[in-house]
Chains A and B, each alone.
Chain A
Amino acid sequence: MSHLLSDSQVMVGRCLRRSVRDPEAFFTALVLPVILLLLFVYVFGGAIAHGGAYVNYVVPGLIVLCAGFGAGTTAVAVATDMSSGIVERFRSLPIAAPTMLLGQVTASLVRNLVATAIVIAAGLAVGWRPSASVLGWLGAVAMIVLLIFAMSWLAAAVGLLARGAEAASSFMLLIMFLPYASTAFVKADTMPAVLRAFASHQPFTPIIETMRGLWMGHTDTGASTGHEALIALAWTIGVLVTGVGVASWCLVRRREAR
């Protein structure tokens, strides 16, 4: 047990090294956020009717979008590990099985927080002006950390369940596209009825609205920030518990199946 910390440290170090050396993970974490921001603000933004500067609307949506891409990277990384011989080596060592996942999840957290910071910085640079107090900022950041943590565990679970990297990446594609059918980029009331119903009730909407409420002082759905935050918390904690549960079940099952 006393080694848990140093083992995890080594695993985190390994995963961070791999992230830095993986051009795709590097691109997803550092370059993609900027490209997406510029794309939405300057290419689509002009055409999207919105009272005020579009950047003031779109930042929370972009953060969620980037978190989706980041989760994709994580799922692929876990699936790649699981299908390679290195897992057998780790399992033959006197270390706790979950430390492997802890490394992946922590690296995922770091990559996605960097991506989020880049979205925020780039947003501020092109004119995003949140009206939030320090407390509001803290709340928004806490929401982001919880979201990324939950999505990283979900991605780890998907990576463990998937047979190979391709399968993991195609499943994660669903999650990457989910934000488009939310209030991330346009208001729900501009959508056709069925889609609007979906957008209003899917998990990303309350998460985005919580950030929007905290940063801009008002949500886009008309509901109070506190109301949205409660639903957002329920979703993220639900996803987190599911992710951790499924991942643990996979680890146990792997141990027993062989």
Chain B
Amino acid sequence: MSYTVSAQAITKSFGGRPALDGVDLDIESGSVLALLGPNGAGKTTMVRILATLSRPDSGTATVAGHDLLADPVAVKRRVSLTGQFVALDDVLTGRENLEMMGRLLHLSRARARQRAAALLTEFELSDAADRRVGTYSGGMKRRLDLAISMIERPELLFLDEPTTGLDPRSREGLWATIGRLVEDGVTVLLTTQYLDEADRLADQVAVLDGGRIVARGTPEELKARLGGGVRVRLQYADEVAYRAACDALDPVIADEQTLRLELLTSGTATDVHELLGDLERTGASAYRVAIDGPSLDDVFLSLTGAPSSTSTLEVSR
């Protein structure tokens, strides 16, 4: 088995505050690894280090066959980064952006032109090729950004929150595009706040929280750690019933102020039916019931026992 990324004990702190606290990370060649975590978990820092844009305080890594610290230039040549913020020249057209980047990758003028035309077609940007990028929609900018990453097919592609801020349709389109690149055999390190994105694209998921990897596995394995997977929210109208339910159940969240309880269940109809029946019998029947699929918050709850400090607002969807 060969690995495109093999990193050991990476640490990095900013002004004394640790952003990464001894991260080990391996990515098998040809696979997609999603680095999942809330804002501030250290995802972008990790990507920037592996992409040679930032130096770790300590730790070692081999990326695309080269030592990250000893030979960053060789690594640079083999990887490509599509960041959280699109890295395009708004004043130039889509075609000019592609040709410029092609030239900076040291393609000949003719080859750069040819590659730009091919990529514009492949990424469905031909119609907008000669318009300034400033006039593009968010989805088009991300596609152009990805197209630039693919001028020379990289061994490793970093996608840092590729769909943050996109509408659902553009997200769907971008996922399809990324899927095609993966089929071509590109190894991908993806960071995301969204479980569904990891679920859709990744072979392996590593959950980063507070600068440490707190869990790792396939999306299925992770979801299994949620106990099968759905969250039942119970809203109570009076405190007596709320207390009775608290005693009878094992809630993951119990909020006395709002009289709300949340539980994790397997999600099968039988289980949910049984749960509600139990509540009825103990006289703790809820005033209102809601059932949700597992969210990233749930992953954090089950992995860390508490919502990650910064996650609650930012990642609830």
A residues within 8 Å of B by Cβ?
Answer: 3, 6-7, 10, 13-14, 17-18, 21-22, 84-95, 256, 258
Contact = CB atoms under 8 A, between A and B. Distances in A.
A92 B157 CA distance: 12
Contacts of B101: 89, 93
Contacts of B86: 85
19 contacts: A3-B106, A7-B103, A10-B100, A14-B92, A17-B96, A18-B89, A18-B92, A84-B90, A85-B88, A89-B87, A89-B148, A92-B53, A93-B76, A93-B101, A94-B73, A94-B105, A258-B48, A258-B53, A258-B54
B87 A85 contact: yes
B53 A256 contact: no
A85 B86 CA distance: 6
Instruction: Classify chain B: how many residues form its interface, as a range.
Output: 20 to 34
Contacts of A84: 85, 87, 90
Interface string B148-187: 1000000000000000000000000000000000000000
Contacts of B89: 14, 18, 86
A17 B93 CA distance: 11
A11 B105 CA distance: 12
Interface string B51-82: 11111000000000000000001001101110
B228 interface: no
Closest CB pairs A-B (n = 9)? A89-B87, A85-B87, A258-B54, A85-B85, A10-B103, A18-B91, A92-B81, A93-B104, A94-B76
B192 to A, nearest CB: 18
Contacts of A95: 104
A92 B80 contact: yes
Nearest to B158: A92
A12 B57 CA distance: 35
B53 A88 contact: yes
B22 interface: no
Nearest to A2: B106
Nearest to A7: B104
Contacts of B53: 88, 91-92, 258
Contacts of B106: 3, 6, 94
Given A92-B52, A93-B76, A14 B100 contact: yes
B153 to A, nearest CB: 15
Nearest to B92: A17
Given A17-B92, A92-B76, 14 more contacts: A7-B104, A10-B104, A13-B100, A17-B96, A21-B132, A84-B85, A88-B53, A89-B83, A89-B87, A92-B52, A92-B81, A93-B105, A94-B105, A256-B55
A165 to B, nearest CB: 13
A84 B97 CA distance: 14
Contacts of A87: 87
Contacts of A86: 87-89
Contacts of A18: 89, 91-92
A226 to B, nearest CB: 45
Contacts of B52: 92
B104 A88 contact: no
A98 B232 CA distance: 57
Contacts of A10: 100, 103-104
A112 B103 CA distance: 27
Contacts of A21: 91, 132
Interface in B98-136: 100-101, 103-106, 132
Given A92-B51, A93-B101, A22 B91 contact: yes
Contacts of B87: 84-89
Given A14-B89, A86-B87, A88-B83, A94 B103 contact: no
B108 to A, nearest CB: 10
A18 B83 CA distance: 23
Contacts of A92: 51-53, 76, 79-81
A221 to B, nearest CB: 44
Contacts of B132: 21
B144 to A, nearest CB: 11
Contact of B91 (A7, A17, A89, A94): A17
Among A6, A17, A88, the most chain B Cβ lie within 10 Å of the Cβ of A88
A91 B87 CA distance: 11
B104 A90 contact: yes
A18 B96 CA distance: 11
A21 B103 CA distance: 21
Given A14-B92, A21-B91, A88-B53, A94 B85 contact: no
A90 B105 CA distance: 10
A180 B227 CA distance: 75
A89 B84 CA distance: 12
A258 B14 CA distance: 8
Contacts of B55: 256
A6 B80 CA distance: 21
Contacts of B91: 17-18, 21-22
Contacts of A91: 53
A143 to B, nearest CB: 33
